[in-house]
Amino acid sequence: MEITTENILLIGSLLLLISILAGKTSYKFGVPTLILFLLVGILAGSEGIGKINFEDPQLAQFIGIVSLNFILFSGGLDTSWKAIKPVMWQGVALSTLGVLITAVSVGVFVSFITDFTIYEGLLLGAIVSSTDAAAVFSILRSKNLALKSNLRPTLELESGSNDPMAYFLTIAFLGLVMNPDQSIYSIIPFFFQQIVIGAFLGFGFGKLSKVLINRIKLDFEGLYPVLVIALMFIVFSATDFLGGNGFLAVYLSAVYLGNQNIIHKRTIMKMFDGLAWLMQIVLFLTLGLLVFPSHVLPVVGIGIFVSVFLILIARPLSVFISLMFFKMKLRRRFYISWVGLRGAVPIVFATYPLLAGIDKADMIFNIVFFVSLTSVLVQGTTLSLVAKWLHVALPGKAKPRSPVDVFLNEGAKSFIREIIIPEENHSVGKRIVELKFPRKAIIAMISRNDKFITPSGSTEIEPNDMLIVLTEDQPTLIEVYDSLNMDMEQDDDNGAV
């Protein structure tokens, strides 16, 4: 079936619907949604029942880059600095040194068992060196599995931040394959250029984005997510144009924004969460359409060897070396080693050799596809089982409750305070987002002129407003008064509730 202007919306919407329904079913059986999305794409492809002819790696790569921007940005917004701070250096080690060790070890192994040159092997190793967060946590959620200690934030940080390193290595080794006379040491300056510029512009654009979001007064709340999307693409494209790592910049700018007070933050985060899911589905469907199963079959033998080496040797080796200077129980290191799923990102990176036109591009793409599929099938379906074997899963009664559960619990001791703003208070005329309210406190409602209004970040404080504030504890309540430049004890004397 040829894709035309007339049928693309019908075909696209049907594939989306089928993917969503398949994903819902997969939760029940513990199968990663990634597999279902890919299979839907394969079945709809030229060798499947749909007979959709799609052979455009350049378009697939473009879709992949756009999708990865949304997925990384959404993951960054959801990253809590408080949660990752205790494990920041572990995550950084895994997402940099760990990725490098994985790429090099797989590359050397591939060049040893095949006729690949060392540079071609390293290129393949670089492509499969990053892990897939979406596949990991779709399984953890489907099994309602909670992990001990700081395992989950460590895995989240690694999965969200290791794509930039894998991208750098892919581009660097691809350059060496195309220019074999070039020294391998030439990639070192390129590495520092990518990381330094990417990190600097990531934080810089993050701060600039916060100022723009809070200063620009838009008439409609729905325009704020659109503004953030525009800023996200500016961050990526400008960083890439200046020679930095665009994926790193996008992720870091999102992490910064996610931990700041910005207008309509909740709306923005919900919007990006939905867009991230949409982009994951579109990405997996596109890659499924691009794959020809008949081309994958001839590389199954090599693919099995590479998969086994990656899962049982390369990944554990990279984890144990990366974490050798950190205190961590052995069984937790083994579990991190097992949670090394390869997903859609390696398949996207595998389109770069295709577009570069190198000799073994087709073979590399098909091996990468097989390795990603095998990794998710073998590791993805056993995450909860291995967690129980290694005793890193929390028992049912000990699983952390969500904030909503805690709040609704009859025994929850939430502090509710009514604070009246004096006419001369410094907060008068300021928007809520400018008050530097503590993160553990919210203004649930404002009583103004005998009317109750539901505030947002852009709501301006007026004289004699009564703020109905919810906090988790007494110290947070003190921070609330400090942010309003008011005396809590004096307010108590005035009859505050």
Q: Which band of pLDDT confidence, cut at 50, 70 and 90, is reported for residue 238?
A: very high
Report the side by side order of strands in the sheet with 415-420.
415-420, 466-471, 441-448, 451-453
User: Looking at the predicted structure, is the pLDDT value of residue 447 above 60?
Assistant: yes
In the chain, the percentage of residues whose pLDDT exceeds 90 is 26
Q: Which band of pLDDT confidence, cut at 50, 70 and 90, is reported for residue 371?
A: very high
Q: Which band of pLDDT confidence, cut at 50, 70 and 90, is reported for residue 196?
A: very high
User: Looking at the predicted structure, is the pLDDT value of residue 352 above 70?
Assistant: yes
Most confident of 154-158, 202-206, 348-352: 202-206
- Residues 484, 432 contacting (CB under 8 angstroms): no
pLDDT of residue 142: 53
Q: Which band of pLDDT confidence, cut at 50, 70 and 90, is reported for residue 107?
A: very high
pLDDT of residue 493: 53
Beta bridge partners of 469: 417, 443
- For range 484-497, the mean pLDDT: 63
In the chain, the percentage of residues whose pLDDT exceeds 70 is 86
CATH 1.20.1530.20 domain position(s) in the chain: 8-398
Q: How far is CA 139 from CA 26, 78, 225, 380, 430, in A?
A: 9, 18, 29, 7, 44
Q: How far apart are CA 4 and CA 21, in angstroms?
A: 25
User: Looking at the predicted structure, is the pLDDT value of residue 131 above 70?
Assistant: yes
Beta bridge partners of 466: 420, 447
Per mean pLDDT, which range of 55-59, 108-112, 331-335 is the poorest? 55-59
pLDDT of residue 28: 54
pLDDT of residue 495: 47
Q: Which band of pLDDT confidence, cut at 50, 70 and 90, is reported for residue 494?
A: low
pLDDT of residue 124: 95
User: Looking at the predicted structure, is the pLDDT value of residue 170 above 90?
Assistant: yes
pLDDT of residue 402: 44
Most confident of 288-302, 376-390, 439-453: 288-302
Q: Among 423, 401, 425, which Cα is nearest to 486's?
A: 425
User: Looking at the predicted structure, is the pLDDT value of residue 253 above 80?
Assistant: yes
pLDDT of residue 138: 58
Q: Among 490, 441, 439, 489, which Cα is nearest to 467's?
A: 441
User: Looking at the predicted structure, is the pLDDT value of residue 399 above 80?
Assistant: no
- Residues 323, 333 contacting (CB under 8 angstroms): yes
pLDDT of residue 276: 83
The model carries a pTM of 0.78
User: Looking at the predicted structure, is the pLDDT value of residue 324 above 70?
Assistant: yes
Q: What's domain 403-493's superfamily in CATH?
A: Regulator of K+ conductance, C-terminal domain (3.30.70.1450)
CATH 3.30.70.1450 domain position(s) in the chain: 403-493
Amino acid 382 reads T
pLDDT of residue 403: 43
Q: Which band of pLDDT confidence, cut at 50, 70 and 90, is reported for residue 135?
A: low
pLDDT of residue 322: 93
Token pair recorded at residue 483: 């942010």
User: Looking at the predicted structure, is the pLDDT value of residue 272 above 70?
Assistant: yes
Cα dihedral angle (61, 66, 71, 77), rounded to 10 degrees?
Answer: 150
Q: Which band of pLDDT confidence, cut at 50, 70 and 90, is reported for residue 382?
A: confident
| Whole-number average pLDDT of the chain | 82
Q: Which residues contact 206 (CB under 8 A, 6 or more apart)?
A: 252, 253, 254, 255, 256, 257
Q: Which band of pLDDT confidence, cut at 50, 70 and 90, is reported for residue 232?
A: very high
Q: Which residues contact 290 (CB under 8 A, 6 or more apart)?
A: 41, 45, 54, 55, 56, 57, 60, 351
Q: CA Rg, the chain, in Å?
A: 25
Q: Which band of pLDDT confidence, cut at 50, 70 and 90, is reported for residue 226?
A: very high
Per mean pLDDT, which range of 112-121, 181-190, 307-316, 483-492 is the poorest? 483-492
Per mean pLDDT, which range of 25-29, 159-163, 202-206, 237-241 is the poorest? 25-29
How many CB atoms lie under 10 A from the CB of residue 130? 30
pLDDT digits (tens, 9 = 90+) for 24-71: 655 555 556 667 777 888 888 777 777 777 778 888 889 888 988 998
The CATH number of the structural domain formed by 8-398 is 1.20.1530.20
pLDDT of residue 405: 45
pLDDT of residue 177: 92
Chain CA centroid to CA 148, Å: 21
Beta bridge partners of 446: 453, 467
217 vs 396 pLDDT, higher one: 217
